[in-house]
Structure 1
Amino acid sequence: MRADLHHEQSHEVDSHIKNPSTKWVLNSPDPPGFCQHIFGSIKKTVFPQRNNARSSSSSQKKESHCERIIVVLSSVFPVLIWGRKYTASKFKNDLISGLTLASLSIPQSIGYAALANLAPQYGLYGSVIPPLIYSVMGTSQELAIGPVAVVSLLISSMISKLVDPVADPVSYMKLVFTVTFFTGTFQALFGLLRLGFLIDFLSHAAIVGFMAGAAIVIGLQQMKSLLGISHFTTKTDVVSVLDAVIKSFHTSWYPLNFVIGCSFLIFILITRFIGKRNKKLFWLPAISPVISVILSTLIVYLTRADEHGVKIIKHFKGGLNPSSLNQLEFNGPHLGEAAKAGFICAIIALTEAVAVGRSFASIKGYNLDGNKEMLAMGCMNLAGSMSSCYVSTGSFSRTAVNFSAGCQSTVSNIVMAITVFISLQLLTKLLYYTPLAILASIILSALPGLIDYNEAYHIWKVDKMDFLACIGAFFGVLFASVEIGLLVAVCVSFGRLILNAIRPGIEELGRLPGTDIFCDKAQYPGVLDVPGISIIRLNSGSFCFANANPIKEKITKCVTEENVKEVAKKPITGIILDMSSVISIDSSGIIALEEMYKKLVSRNIHLAIANPRWKVIHKLKIAGFVEKVGSDCIFLTVNEAVDACLGTKSIGVSNC
């Protein structure tokens, strides 16, 4: 009945429309509803559209059905697409890349596990299962998967407030796995529902500041291992860490740890400098952490330096990733906090991985599917939470090494995972005498890449508000906590959005001489006014409760001022609202339009609306606004609206 009524009303409206192009605006189909939008998003991610020709025979129908299954599987597992073209020559490159990657991943993963207050094996576990899953589901050829410094710091800072990792390591570990489960769940949902825009709420400027602050905090945290301090603060702010370091000088610190750590840190930085100067020696900085681990372990073992205050790893468990499914806690007292931590980790991990993946994809000239990346990240972290892994994501330093080594596909991740797995089986006992100071030096060597001075300066030059978000995140992480730094950055970004929404600009348009183009008077001072008509463009994507009244007041004030100016000439008799920039409108915006219309009519000023977007005109029709003002007040272009207001009869259909 409603459809028939709407159909009849549309025909009735058509009969009264004089301008043919207005029919194109008013008779546009209804946009998809909320449920259609959600299910459509899932369908686009999991069930890609494919036009198959219909056939009458049953055998062809079965074949078509099988093909659809293959298409669906290929969309979830991209390996089914690129795997068909995989060659032996590509495997040779991936083998070298994977082995080079493993040489960097093993010492880094052990160090990042320590940063997350976990035993060394948990860092290595995270470099086995997650990379294997990503290799069949991910769309990036270069992205190297495993634990990273920033997420390890997030895990440590947020969960240590709930459970003490020293006093109750079992409960701490269970909470880490639960947070990893929630991280994977959120990431998978982001991919399925195509909610990639959520990670964009952390602007580029905020990420730059956050990474720089996190790098300094991570570096200060390494002072515990670099100085051989037994008791250290669990807080992450710079004041607490520096206070703990100063106090340790008067109590318990061992200079040998500092000597070993700094010596190998210098060695790693020198190899990195050589690798940058000579691209053919890219493998040198990649294997320098492993060389450092081997040499420092031999030195400690031969000199028995552990008996003279040098802190060592000691024994840690190796072997296959044990199941942690029974350690996930969904009925504990910290479930809400675990979900919150999982959401934050999901956003940060995705932001880093997608940014790194897109950077290297652009170099090779292919597109990275953000939604599939989120789905792949979610699945690998879900599986990781059930196999004793904590949150894994794409690492910038390891991805750069993978790219430099000439990787051709995600097979390099498989090679790395197998190599790390073999190391877990055979090398754990050999790492008994590895000094903790060497792990600290490996982490410290990776931190300069997180601090981008040039980008921060560029942000300052381009946009001061963006720089405010940058330094807000930086000082928030540095002097408060990781969560506070993120909160400050998000608040500044949201504050900017809200400010722009509440105080949107309106542009007065004029005709470019000799054309039918209408431009902003402020940007193009030479444009011509249309006598008796004021053309106003709403410079906002949304006409809603937050900005409806300010927009209405600005337009009314603008018209009043124009009338005062033009009283000696020709007064304003028509207002044209160019709504080409407005993509959404709510009930408050419609009410503001109605009030504006009534106020203008009372002053004998006509209102015309030009180029309303799909959702906008749909809501204006539903709300009855079109019936109130009349269909002759709706136009496809500003030029047609001007011609109508000036009384021109020859109005044709314009292409837009």
Structure 2
Amino acid sequence: MLGLQHFTTSTDLVSVMESVFTQTHQWRWESVVLGSCFLFFLLLTRYLSKRNPKFFWISAAAPLTSVVLASLLVYLTHAENHGVQVIGYLKKGINPPSATSLEFSPPYIMIALKTGIITGVIALAEGIAVGRSFAMYKNYQIDGNKEMIAFGMMNIVGSLTSCYLTTGPFSRSAVNYNAGCKTAMSNVVMAIAVMITLLFLTPLFHYTPLVVLSAIIISAMLGLIDYEAAIHLWHVDKIDFCVCLGAYLGVVFGSVEIGLVVAVTISILRVLLFIARPRTTVLGNIPNSLVYRRVDQYPIAQSIPGIFILHIDAPIYFANASYLRERISRGIDDEEDALKTKGRTNLQYVILDLGAVGSIDTSGISMLEDLKKNLDRRGLQLVLANPGSEIMKKLDKSKVLEGIGHEWIFLTVAEAVGSCNFMLHTQKQADSNGTHDNMV
């Protein structure tokens, strides 16, 4: 856009800005004016197309129109002699197949394997990330496995015919999206157009200015910036916003690969944090029903006298077993202190709702075993509600189920509460009868 002859090959913002402002003496106003005019033209056509969908073809035809008009303008005005860079000479024709030139000898095959693995992983990650970003705009789903197979097959076949490395470039995808491409048939049309161009039309692109190609890419990129989606992420989920911001800053100040690594790292840390610090919530009964919900979410949910109900919202692994043990013990202590303050019935039953616990390992089993022993010392009974089949199998094989007692395993929280209430009522009657006999 500025007509610089020697520009940085780095893509980070710092390198680009340094290259731009350290060569201010080489800026060419001809390139700036030409690029700004065509950029304005492209943005105007997109705006008109969005205002009236019937004229979608205006935005679709704008890039090709810009290339033709810019080439004619440069040819008629000899702008290449005034600092406007052009494509220049292009070799005509298609390269011969390279299948017969492949080398599988040791010096080359190891280099190909190392380079192929690294570039393959990066290209696949970048291609899938770009595909998903466009899938959100178009409201469709992509399959990572199919994308990987497609990339692999294209590169295998392409390597036999001297094709360029195939991936999902963001700039070219943005241009396709901005032109209104709907299906993969656009790639077939593009490939045929490129083949016809290489065979017959390369001399016509000699005077095509590079600045108009820059304007096409810039206009396509501007259409993909969705700051409203970032604001929406901030209001909905702060961690997702951090993933978005980390990926953005990683790309701007580093590269696409660094942005992907930052985003994936933050996402993995979020998963690890969720596993290591699972949510535990106290449940209460909705009046006149058998439904039990979080007391902090439903103010009408009432606690059951003498019963403490705790819901565990994640699998129990070695990473969170100690944390859950502490959370459960702290919750029981807080509940007992609250009951003493209010002068209510002492706590006698602790119900763990395991409906959201999809799996458990040996550390989690040991945690339940230690919890059972701790509650027995405090005179409390451990009750399990809604454990899954995998949980039951492992508790049975580890003999922990025998220690808890099969009679203290229930399908639902409501059944567990009902049984505990029955035992409390029976115990009260027994205590009342014993007191009456002593008086007699």
Normalising by the smaller structure, the TM-score range is 0.7 to 0.9
Which residue among 390, 404, 426 is the counterpart of 1:615?
390
The residue type equivalent to 1:248 in the other structure is Q
Q: Which residue of structure 2 lines up, in the alignment, with residue 421 of structure 1?
A: 195
What is the CA-CA distance between 1:613 and the residue it aligns to?
2.5
Q: Which residue of structure 2 lines up, in the alignment, with residue 436 of structure 1?
A: 210
Q: Which residue of structure 2 lines up, in the alignment, with residue 646 of structure 1?
A: 421
SS at match of 1:583: coil
What is the CA-CA distance between 1:344 and the residue it aligns to?
3.1
Mapped partners of 2:240, 2:123: distance in 1: 23
User: Residues 311 and 354 of structure 2 are in contact (CA less than 8 Å); yes or no, is this contact kept in structure 1?
Assistant: yes
SS at match of 2:223: helix
Q: Which residue of structure 1 lines up, in the alignment, with residue 15 of structure 2?
A: 240
SS at match of 1:282: helix
Mapped partners of 2:131, 2:254: distance in 1: 25
Q: Residues 51-62 of structure 1: matches in 2 within 5 Å?
A: none
The residue type equivalent to 1:236 in the other structure is T
Return closer, same or farther for 1:341/1:620 CA change in 2, 3 Å cut-off: farther
SS at match of 1:577: strand
The residue type equivalent to 2:194 in the other structure is V
- Return the TM-score normalized by structure 1: 0.58
User: Residues 61 and 179 of structure 2 are in contact (CA less than 8 Å); yes or no, is this contact kept in structure 1?
Assistant: no
- Greater C-alpha Rg: 2
Which residue among 87, 110, 123 is the counterpart of 1:331?
110
Q: Does 1:558 align with 2:337?
A: no
User: Residues 354 and 370 of structure 1 are in contact (CA less than 8 Å); yes or no, is this contact kept in structure 2?
Assistant: no
Q: Residues 166-185 of structure 1: matches in 2 within 5 Å?
A: none
Q: Which residue of structure 2 lines up, in the alignment, with residue 628 of structure 1?
A: 403
The residue type equivalent to 2:401 in the other structure is V
Q: Which residue of structure 1 lines up, in the alignment, with residue 120 of structure 2?
A: 342
Return closer, same or farther for 1:345/1:623 CA change in 2, 3 Å cut-off: farther
Q: Which residue of structure 2 lines up, in the alignment, with residue 594 of structure 1?
A: 369
What is the CA-CA distance between 1:368 and the residue it aligns to?
5.8
Q: Does 1:479 align with 2:258?
A: no
SS at match of 1:393: coil
User: Residues 94 and 199 of structure 2 are in contact (CA less than 8 Å); yes or no, is this contact kept in structure 1?
Assistant: yes
The CA deviation string for residues 160-189 of structure 1, in whole angstroms up to 9 with x for no partner, is xxxxxxxxxxxxxxxxxxxxxxxxxxxxxx
- Return the TM-score normalized by structure 2: 0.84
SS at match of 1:596: helix
Q: Does 1:290 align with 2:69?
A: no
Q: Residues 54-73 of structure 1: matches in 2 within 5 Å?
A: none
Q: Does 1:456 align with 2:234?
A: no
Mapped partners of 2:133, 2:397: distance in 1: 42
Higher RCO (C-alpha under 8 Å, 6+ residues apart): 1
User: Residues 285 and 293 of structure 2 are in contact (CA less than 8 Å); yes or no, is this contact kept in structure 1?
Assistant: yes
The residue type equivalent to 2:13 in the other structure is V
Q: Residues 248-263 of structure 1: matches in 2 within 5 Å?
A: 248-250=23-25, 252-263=26-37
SS at match of 1:525: coil
Mapped partners of 2:245, 2:337: distance in 1: 46
Mapped partners of 1:439, 1:243: distance in 2: 22
User: Residues 548 and 592 of structure 1 are in contact (CA less than 8 Å); yes or no, is this contact kept in structure 2?
Assistant: yes
What is the CA-CA distance between 1:632 and the residue it aligns to?
2.4
SS at match of 1:497: helix
What is the CA-CA distance between 1:373 and the residue it aligns to?
4.7
4+ residue runs over 6 A deviation? none
Q: Residues 308-387 of structure 1: matches in 2 within 5 Å?
A: 308-320=82-94, 322-323=96-97, 326=102, 330-332=109-111, 336=114, 339-357=117-135, 359-360=137-138, 371-387=145-161
Q: Residues 12-31 of structure 1: matches in 2 within 5 Å?
A: none
Matched residues, number: 413
Mapped partners of 1:323, 1:635: distance in 2: 70
Q: Residues 216-231 of structure 1: matches in 2 within 5 Å?
A: 226-231=1-6
The CA deviation string for residues 525-569 of structure 1, in whole angstroms up to 9 with x for no partner, is 2222222211100022x2112211111111012112323333443
Mapped partners of 1:321, 1:632: distance in 2: 78
What is the CA-CA distance between 1:422 and the residue it aligns to?
2.0
What is the CA-CA distance between 1:594 and the residue it aligns to?
1.3
Q: Which residue of structure 2 lines up, in the alignment, with residue 209 of structure 1?
A: none
What is the CA-CA distance between 1:242 and the residue it aligns to?
1.1
SS at match of 1:584: coil
Q: Residues 26-175 of structure 1: matches in 2 within 5 Å?
A: none
The CA deviation string for residues 81-103 of structure 1, in whole angstroms up to 9 with x for no partner, is xxxxxxxxxxxxxxxxxxxxxxx
Uncovered stretches (5+) of structure 1, i.e. residues with no partner:
1-225, 650-656
Q: Which residue of structure 1 lines up, in the alignment, with residue 321 of structure 2?
A: 548
Root-mean-square deviation over aligned CA pairs: 2.9
Mapped partners of 1:354, 1:271: distance in 2: 26
Which residue among 176, 179, 185 is the counterpart of 1:398?
176
